Structure 1
Amino acid sequence: MAAAPTPTLVLLPEWGAGHLMSMLESCKRVLLRGGRAFSITLLVMRPPTAQATSQVEEHVRREAVSGLDIRFHRLPAVDPPADAAGVEDFIARYIQLHAPHVRDAVAGMSCPVAALVLDLFAAPMVDVARGLGVPSYVFMSSTGAMLALMLHLPVLHRVVTVGFDELDGEVHVPGLPPVPPECLPCPVVDKKSPNYTWFLRLGDSFMDATGIIANTADGLEPGPLAAVADGRAVPGRPAPPVYPVGPVLSHGSSASKKDSSSEPPHQCVAWLDAQPPASVVFLCFGSMGWFEPAQVVEITAALERCGHRFLWVLRGPPSSKSGAGAPDGSEHPTDANLEELLPEGFLRRTEGKGLVWPTWAPQKEILAHPAVGGFVTHSGWNSVLESLWHGIPMAPWPLYAEQHLNAFELVADMGVAVPLKVDRKRDNFVEAAELERAVRCLMGEEGRKAREKAAEMRDVCRKAVEKGGSSDAALQRLSEALHDGAVPPTI
C-alpha cells in the first residue's frame, strides 16, 4: 500500500523580512518536530518594489538549498492599488488582491493541506480557507500586546467616541497598564484614516481563524496573552487558541558560520573585542531606520557628552533606486556618507571610544558580544527579541508601525528598558540632552533594574524554547492541531 501523502502547511507571508522569516522559521519548527510529518509550501507574492523583490528572492534561494521539505509557489502578479491612503492601507489591499490566486493555489494542492497560515495583513483570507474547508491560522509577527490591542480595537472603537489623538486620558488595553494615547501604534491613532479601518477589519478577521501563532512567549508577555486567552480582549466571544512559540530567532547561525570558516570577524565585532565588558552602548534602528541631518547632530552631541563607548550603525537617506517613496513604506536606507552627515571633528574626538558604522551590521553577533551593555533601538519586535535573548537592556526610540506600543511595553510592563522621550509631532525627534540622559541611565546605576530584568528575560526566553518549556509545549499543541486538521481542499 502506498504511503499517504505528506500534509503541507501553506504559508502566505508579507514580503518584509521581519514578517516572512519569522513566519517561515516558526513553521520550520513544526516541520522539524519529531513524529509529525509536514512539508511547507510558501506562496510567494511579487513585492511592489524591486528591492523588496530582490530580498525575497534571496530568502527563497537560501531556503531552497536548506535540505528541508519547503516548496515555493509563485502567485501571479497583480497591479498594486494606485490610490492607497497610507502604508497599512496599501499593504492590506495589495495582499487582498491576491485572494483569488491564493484560493486557486490551495485548491490545486495534490496533498492534504494542514492549514493556510496567514500574515496578520492577510487575515481576511480566513474566508478563503473557510470556503476551501481547510483550517486557517494567523501568524502574529508582533507582540502579544499588539495582538490584545487588535482584538480589542472594535470594543475601543465603540467606547472611545473621539480620535485617540484627541483623547483626554489613557487607553485601556486588556493585560497592559493604561496606555497613553501617544504610545498607540501609528496606524491606530487617527480613526478617520483608512489604515485604522483596516486594523479594525484585521482584528475582526483574527477572531474567525482556527488559531493564532504568536512570536512571543508566555513568560515574556503573561498579561496580554492571558487577557486574550480568558476572553477579556473580546468580551462575550471566545478568541481562537493562541500558540506562543517564540522567541523565533535563527539562533547561533552567525557563530556557526564563523566557527566553520577561516574568515576574520566582522569589523564591528573585531572592534568590540578590544572593549571592556558591558561598556558599549549599541545604537541601531532596523532595516528602514535613518535620520535627517539635524537629528544626526543631536545624536553626536549626546554621545560626545555622555562619554560612554558606543557602536552606532548610521544609515543614509533612501535614494530613488533604493525605494524612497515606496508604496509599502519600505524606504530602505543607503550607506551613509560619514563626511557629509557627521559634524566636523566628531570621529577624531571620539576615536578609540566610538565606532560609527555606515552600512549593514551583524546585529545578532553584536548583541551577543560581552562588550555590549545597552541597546538604543527602534523597538521593532525582532530586534527586541534578539536583545532579550542576550539579556541586553534597551532605550527604545520608536519610529513607525507598532513600535510606540512596543516601547511602552518594554518600559512600563516588562521593565527591561529605560524611557526615552520621543516627540511624535516632530517626526519622532529626540533632543541631545534627552538622549544623553537616557544613555547615562541605561549604562549607569539608574539602569540597574532594567539590566536585572533584561537578564531575567534572557532566562525566560531560553527556557521557553527548551524541551518542556512553555513555547515548546505550545509548539507541540500546534503540531497536534495541524496534524489532526489536515484535509484535502474542497472546491
Structure 2
Amino acid sequence: MAKPTVVSLPVWGAGHFMPMIEFGKRLLRASGGALSATVLLMPAPTPQQASLIADHVRREEAAAGDDIRFQRLPDVELPTDHTGIEEFISRVVRSHVPHVRAAIAGLERPPAALVFNIFCTPALDASRELAVPTYVYFTSAGAMLALFLRTPALDVEVAVEFEEMDGPLDVPGLLPLPASALPDTMLQRKKSTYEWYVYTGRRYMDVTGFIVNTAAELEPSVLAAIADGRCTGGIAAPTVHPIGPRSGHRFLWVLRGPPEDSRHGTRDPTDATLDELLPEGFLERTKGRGLVWPTRAPQADILAHAAVGGFVTHCGWNSILESLWFGVPMLPWPLGAEQHMNAFTLVAAMGVAVPLEVDRKRGNFVEAAELERAVRSLMGGGEEGRKAREKALELKAICRKAVEESGSSLATFEKLTEEIFWTNTKNESVKPNKSR
C-alpha cells in the first residue's frame, strides 16, 4: 500500500518556503517512514525568487529521494491592481485553487493532510471539497494568530479607524495592544488588504489545526487565550500545535539592496552595491571595528558567535526565534507585515529588547541619534540593556528545553504526527514510531 502523503502548499518567500520544507522533513522523520510528503509549487513571481526556490528544490530532490515529491503547478495570471502584498499573494493562491484541487485529487498516494502557508487560505476550498484535513503552517508568532482570530469581531466592534480609537485594542492573551503595533495594512480599513485579515481570520475557524513556530513557554497567555476560545467569542478555535522554535561598539551590518520588484508580492532584498548605499568614506572610517556584509548572510552562524552582543532586527519571526535560541538581545527595527506587532511583543511582553523609536509615517525611518542611543543602551552597562540581556538568556534556556527529549514542543510534534497519520488516515494498524 502506498504511504499516505502530507501535501504542503508554501508560498515563494524564503522565510515561508524553507521553514515549511524543513517542517515536512521533520514530520517524515517523526513518522518513522510511515508518511511521505508532496510539495505543491506555485511559480514564483520574480526571477530572483524563482531562482532561489529552484536551487533549493534541486538540493532537496537530490537528498530526499522518493519520500519528498515536488509537483509544479501551472502558471496563472498575476494581479496588477492589488493594494498590498497580502492581497497579491491571496489572489494568486485563489487562481491556483483549481490546480491545487486537481493535484490533490490526482495523487498516487492517499492524502493524509494539506498543510498550507498563512497566505494560502483560499486553498481551503479545495481541501474541504476533497475532505482532506487541513492545517495552517503559521510562520509568525502566536500573538499574531490571536490577532487574526480576533479581527472578525474587532471589525464589528470598532466603528472608526483603529488609529482613531481612544485606547488600545483588546486581544485576549496580549497586553493592551496600541494601534501603532498593528500591521500597516490593517490601518486603512477601506482597502481590500484589510479585508484580507478579516476574511483570513474568519476562514481560519474552518481548519483542522494550526502548526505554529513557537514554544508553549514563550507565549503561554496567548496560547491559553486561543485554546479557551477567548479570541473567538467563546467558540472553540482549532487546536494550536506549538512546535518551535526551529530555528563606539563593534558591529556587523548586513546591508541589502532594494526589493527586486515590489509589484509582484515580494519584499525580498537584492544584493547591495555598497558605493550606491553608503556615505562616501564610511567603510574606511569604520575599518577595524565594523564589517558591512552586502549579500545574504549566514544569520544563525553569526548570532551563535560569542562576539555578538546585540541584534538590530527587522522583527521577522524566524529571525526573532534565532536570536532567542542563541540568547541575543535585540533592537527592533520593524519594516512591514506583522513586524511592528512583533517589536511590541519583544519589548513589552518578553522584555528581550531595548525599544527603538521608528517613524512609520516616514517609511519606518530611525534618526541616527536615536539608533546611537538604543545601541549604547543595549551594549553598555545600563539597566535597560542588562535586563534585556538577562531575559534573552532566560528565554534561550526555555527555547532549548522545549525541544529536548521531554520538552513541550517535541511532545506536541509527536502528538501532531500521530494525529495526521493515525487519525486522519484511519490507519489504526500501525502507529508512527518515535524515531527522529
Do both proteins adopt the same fold according to a TM-score greater than 0.5, normalized to the shorter chain? yes
Q: 1:78 aligns with which of 76, 79, 84?
A: 76
Q: CA deviation at 1:186?
A: 1.8
Q: Match for 1:309 among 231, 250, 255?
A: 250
Give, in angstroms, the shift of residue 246 of structure 1.
0.8
Q: Deviations over 1:28-48 (max 9, x none)?
A: 211101546110100000011
Query: Which residues in structure 2 correspond to 1:394-413 (within 5 Å)?
Result: 394-413=330-349
**What amino acid is the match of 2:51?**
S
Match of 2:21 in 1: 24
Aligned ranges 1:158-177 → 2 under 5 Å: 158-177=156-175
The equivalent residue for 1:471 is 409
How far apart in 2 are the matches of 1:34 and 1:486? 14
Question: What amino acid is aligned across from residue 287 of structure 2 in structure 1?
Answer: E
Residue 107 and residue 340 in structure 1: after superposition, are their counterparts in 2 closer, same or farther (change >3 A)?
closer
2:6 alignment partner, SS class: strand
Distance in 2 of aligned mates of 1:205 and 1:436: 44
Distance 1:53 1:344, change over 3 A: closer
Say whether residues 1:443 and 2:379 are aligned partners.
Answer: yes
Equivalents in 1 of 2:32, 2:54: separation in Å?
31
Q: Residue 455 of structure 1 corresponds to which residue in structure 2? A: 393
- 1:28-427, aligned counterparts within 5 Å? 28-35=25-32, 37-67=34-64, 69-249=67-247, 307-318=248-259, 323-337=260-274, 339-427=275-363
Q: CA deviation at 1:487?
A: 4.2
SS state of the match for residue 372, structure 1?
Answer: coil
Q: Supply the AA of the counterpart residue of 2:234.
A: G
| Runs of 4+ with >4 A deviation | none
Paired with 1:312 and 1:82, the residues of 2 have a C-alpha distance of 34
> Distance in 1 between the 2:276 and 2:69 partners?
46
Deviation at 1:348, TM superposition (A): 2.7
Tell me, which stretches of 5 or more residues in structure 1 are unaligned? 250-306
**2:52 is paired with a residue of what secondary structure?**
helix
Shift of 1:10: 0.3
1:54, 1:28 → 2: CA distance? 22
Residue 434 of structure 2 corresponds to which residue in structure 1?
none
Unaligned runs of 5+ in 2: 427-436
Shift of 1:333: 2.5
CA distance in structure 1 between the partners assigned to 2:191 and 2:353 by the alignment = 31
Please give the alpha-carbon distance, in whole angstroms, between the structure 2 residues aligned to 1:118 and 1:344. 46
SS of 1:65's equivalent in the other structure is helix
The one-letter amino acid of 1:40's match is A
Aligned length: 423
Whether the 8 Å contact between 2:42 and 2:74 is mirrored in structure 1 is yes
**Cα distance change, pair 108–487 in 1 and its aligned pair in 2 (3 A):** farther
CA-to-partner distance for each residue in 1:248-306, whole Å, 9 max, x for gaps? Answer: 22xxxxxxxxxxxxxxxxxxxxxxxxxxxxxxxxxxxxxxxxxxxxxxxxxxxxxxxxx
SS in 1 for 2:245: coil
State the secondary structure of the residue aligned to 1:471.
helix
Q: More displaced, 30-39 or 141-150?
A: 30-39
**How many Å apart are 1:424 and its aligned residue?**
0.4
* Whole-angstrom distance in 1 between the partners of 2:331 and 2:26: 31
Shift of 1:324: 2.9
Which stretch shows the higher mean deviation, 145-154 or 77-86?
Answer: 77-86
- Helix, strand or coil for the counterpart of 1:98? helix
What's the offset of the Cα at 1:393? Answer: 0.2
Q: Give 1:350 shift.
A: 2.1
Partners of 1:55 and 1:341 lie apart in 2 by: 24
Report the Cα offset of residue 123 of structure 1.
1.7
Instruction: For residue 205 of structure 1, give the secondary structure of its aligned residue in structure 2.
Output: helix
TM-score, length-normalised on structure 1?
0.84
Q: Which moved more, 1:22-31 or 1:388-397?
A: 22-31
Following superposition, the deviation at residue 67 of structure 1 comes to 2.8
Q: Would the alpha carbon gap of residues 206 and 142 (structure 1) be closer, same or farther in structure 2, given more than 3 Å must change?
A: same
Letter in 2 for 1:396: P
More divergent stretch after superposition (325-334 vs 234-243): 325-334
Indicate if the aligned counterparts of 1:85 and 1:195 stay in contact, CA closer than 8 A. yes
Q: TM-score, normalised by structure 2?
A: 0.94
Classify the secondary structure of the residue corresponding to 1:138: strand
Distance 2:104 2:279 in 1: 56
Give the letter for the 1:75 counterpart.
Answer: L
Aligned-pair identity (%): 57
Deviations 1:37-83 (A, max 9, x none): 11010000001112111111111111112235100111111111232
Q: Is the 8 A contact 1:212 1:240 kept in 2?
A: yes
In the alignment, is the contact (CA less than 8 A) between 2:271 and 2:296 conserved in 1? no
The 1:17/1:340 distance shift into structure 2, 3 A limit, reads: closer
SS of residue matched to 1:77: coil
* One-letter identity of the residue aligned with 1:211: G
